[in-house]
Structure 1
Amino acid sequence: MNPYVLMILLSSLGLGTTLTFASSHWLLAWMGLEINTLAILPLMAQQHHPRAVEATTKYFLTQATAAAMILFAATTNAWVTGEWDINNLTHPLASSLIIMALALKVGLAPVHFWMPEVLQGLDLMTGLILSTWQKLAPFALIIQMAPNTSPTLLTALGLLSTLVGGWGGLNQTQLRKIMAYSSIAHMGWMLITLQYAPQLTLIALGLYIFMTSTAFLSLKMASATKINTLTAAWSKSPILAPTTALALLSLGGLPPLTGFMPKWLILQELTKQDLPTTATIMALAALLSLYFYLRLCYAMALTIYPNTTNASTPWRTCTTQSALPLSLMMIATLGLLPLTPAIMTLPT
């Protein structure tokens, strides 16, 4: 892609997200979401592959549906109350409709079906943008909407997303689909604590971005898109393979890695709110997610690369990719757990 076109598209991505962050009016927030969607579509379709075009079409139709629902609900609320302010969305129907539309935008269950299919048709760097940056603007609106939303709806969306994210990734062989179900599960963890401790949601979102970026950059460095290709990772790069395995375990929430921090704090908060059943279900769902991360680690560390293969052997090749972003993300993914007390004292 032409570097000038790429710069314009990435700038538009930033503009759309910033506009949604800064807006208190539903029309401005909707415009920011639309700019965000339209800016990523050319990045998704740049490969000119049928799978990429299909994924782009599915993404466009899904995001357009969610945007139409948001506009319809905001207009309904303005018709009833005379207010366009985001924080004054008091009509219960409009509030529930907008939460479902935003859930559709970020891929929360039960409106998650588009996400694994879309992510499977993209290259790893575009998938990274879709899994991290594209979540920020809709999630900022969800955080602002939380005080006016039914707690039962938020809890149901969070629990269902965590369970679907765990169950859905169990029988997958494509790494991008596994990362999609991982994203759905993490979104559920963020949503479940939103009504009780919004600062925990922000911490979980920040750490999720670090961990997911590390996972995608590691897979890109290893040129891996299927579990089978991970079996050659140790032979190709003896340093990248164990660090990638640790990053995946961090995504699963295994102590003493960074990913344990948000799950630990969220379970602690649910216990404080006298919700032991919810906390137990969340912890059991985390075990499901941990299982399919362990499958990936097993493929990398304990599986021998097959002797007969139709593909050319990706042996030790010199890569031109920059390792600095991956190194910084890897450090954050693996080593932030001791900073938990300091992070919890940050002003919110």
Structure 2
Amino acid sequence: MFNSPSRNLFLSTLILGTLISVSSQSWFGAWVGLEVNLLSFIPLMTDKNMLSSEAALKYFLTQALASIFLFTTILLYTVYLKVPLQPTVLPISIHTLFWSALLIKLGAAPFHFWLPGVMEGLTWINNMLLMTWQKLGPLSLLSYAMSDGMFPHGVIILSTFVGAVGGFNQTSLRKIMAYSSINHLGWMLAGVLLSNLYWVTYFGFYCFLSFSILVSFHHLQLSHLKQIFLISDPNNFNKIFVFSNFLSLGGLPPFIGFIPKWLVLQGLTSQGNFLLGGTLVVLTLVVLFYYLRTFFPAALVTTSSHKWGITQIYWAPLNVGLTSLSLLGFPLFPLLYPLF
């Protein structure tokens, strides 16, 4: 991906578009940054297979629809403030349309319909960009205008519910990661309700955990759950690496993925949002259930190595280092706790 000069150019403009959106002093500038980011990511998505072309088309159509809603909201915002004898507080309908546009870009429920299909047709490297960097711009804009209310609470609960229930009976690892992303997005939106420090911290941990597990998928060439059973590893170290990252991504203590969930949960309870915090915890347990349901058969059942099985043993220092940090990173919590 990074060997072509044209792809390096599009990757540079992809980063530039997000930076323009985050640092802009006006909503129009933020919209321009999101469009630059969108038009830079489309060429990166395309590959030599038809699935990537279909995914790029789906992504373009949904993001263009969200951009139309966002631009319409910006125009309504400008016109409404120029009308005389009107209060300076915007009506809730304009806020709802603005949030909906950004939620479509993020792939949050109930606007998640495009995310599993798009991720199914992309490579793991493109999926890593879609799950991490592509969320930074819309989340930053949401943090500028997010307020407490029924609509944000409903989106948070629905995102965690869809991310938890949607992962059942899925055999594609890309779709499992897509629904996991939707579930984590609910936690990040809960962090947006609290303060910038909460959601930025959660987003940083989420990027690290997603990168850790997608590196394993990329180098082991995994696409479906049954391929994990066929990994030829006499000591099961590769399987342990994969599912340790899975459990850390699910937030099981004492893995490092438990730290951001603990911080967000503590922030919600300190503000009296016990119902929202309890709902997030219960739905996270559902995610951990189907992670464990996948882990135990693959780790405990010994299969014979066939010629169509995955025979390479992957011992790259990057994978070992990331997994070790995921396993042993829980002692970092005392260093982060005084910040909250």
Moved more, 33-42 or 70-79: 33-42
- Partner in structure 1 of residue 220 of structure 2: 222
Equivalent residue, structure 2, for 1:45: 46
**Distance in 2 between the 1:221 and 1:288 partners?**
28
Task: Supply the distance in 1 between the matched residues of 2:221 and 2:297 (Cα, whole angstroms).
Answer: 15
- One-letter code of the match for 2:52? A
**Deviation (angstroms), 1:346:** 4.2
Alpha-carbon spacing, 1:81–1:124, altered in 2? closer, same or farther (3 Å): same
Return the letter of the residue paired with 1:313: G
Structure 1 residue 67, shift from structure 2 partner: 0.7
1:155 is aligned to 153
2:217 and 2:223 in contact (8 A); partners too? yes
Structure 2 residue aligned with 1:316: 312
Q: What's the counterpart of residue 109 of structure 1?
A: 109
Q: Deviations over 1:10-47 (max 9, x none)?
A: 1011111111111021111111111111111112112x
Q: Does 1:343 align with 2:339?
A: no
Q: Normalising by structure 1, report the TM-score.
A: 0.89
The answer on whether the counterparts of 2:230 and 2:305 sit within 8 Å (CA) in structure 1 is: no
Sequence identity, in percent? Answer: 34
- Paired amino acid for 2:278: T
Q: 1:151 to 1:132 in 2, by over 3 A?
A: same
How far is the alpha carbon of 1:335 from its aligned partner? 3.0
Aligned-pair distance for 1:99? Answer: 0.8
**For 1:208-261, what per-residue CA distance to the aligned partner results, in whole angstroms no more than 9, with x for missing partners?**
111111111111121100000011235288433212211110011111111111
Query: For residue 58 of structure 2, what is the aligned residue in structure 1?
Result: 58
Cα 1:167–1:324 change in 2 (3 A) is same
Which has the larger displacement, 204-213 or 234-243?
A: 234-243
- Cα displacement string for residues 140-166 of structure 1 (whole angstroms, at most 9, x for unaligned residues): 1111111xx352211111111001100
Separation in 2, partners of 1:170, 1:253 = 18
Structure 1 ranges of 4+ moved more than 6 A = none
1:125 aligns with: 125
Count of equivalent residues: 335
The residue type equivalent to 1:342 in the other structure is L
Distance (Å, rounded) in 2 between the aligned partners of 1:125 and 1:81: 43
Unaligned runs of 5+ in 2: none
Please tell me the residue identity of whatever aligns with 2:54: E
Alpha-carbon deviation of 1:109? 0.4
Residues 245 and 300 in structure 1, CA contact (< 8 A), matched pair in contact too:
no
The answer (yes or no) to whether the contact 1:227–1:299 under 8 Å persists in 2 is: no
Answer yes or no: is 1:171 the counterpart of 2:169. yes
Contact persistence 2:232–2:312 (CA under 8 A): no
State the match for 1:278 in structure 2: 276
Q: Distance in 1 between matches of 2:115 and 2:89?
A: 28
Please give the per-residue CA displacement for 1:185-205, whole angstroms capped at 9, x wherever unaligned.
000011123222432211111
Q: Are the equivalent residues in 1 in contact too, given 2:108–2:185 (CA < 8 A)?
A: yes
Q: Is the 8 A contact 2:227 2:309 kept in 1?
A: no
CA distance in 1, matches of 2:184, 2:65: 23
Match runs of 1:135-154 below 5 Å: 135-146=135-146, 149-154=147-152
In the TM superposition, what whole-angstrom CA distance separates every residue of 1:108-145 from its partner, at most 9, and x where no partner exists? 00000100010001111111111111111111111111
- Secondary structure, aligned partner of 2:233: helix
Q: 57-66 or 23-32, which moves further after superposition?
A: 23-32
Q: Distance in 1 between matches of 2:318 and 2:11?
A: 18
1:304 aligned partner: 302
| SS of aligned partner of 1:235 | coil
TM-score (norm 2): 0.91
Q: Which residue of 1 aligns with 2:293?
A: 295
Change in CA separation of 1:9 and 1:281 when aligned onto 2, cut-off 3 Å: same
Shift, 1:345, TM fit: 3.3
Q: Match of 2:14?
A: 13
Quote the offset at 1:336 in angstroms: 2.8
Partner amino acid for 2:109?
Answer: A
Per-residue deviation at 1:106? 0.7
Residues 45 and 56, structure 1, Cα contact 8 Å, conserved in 2: yes
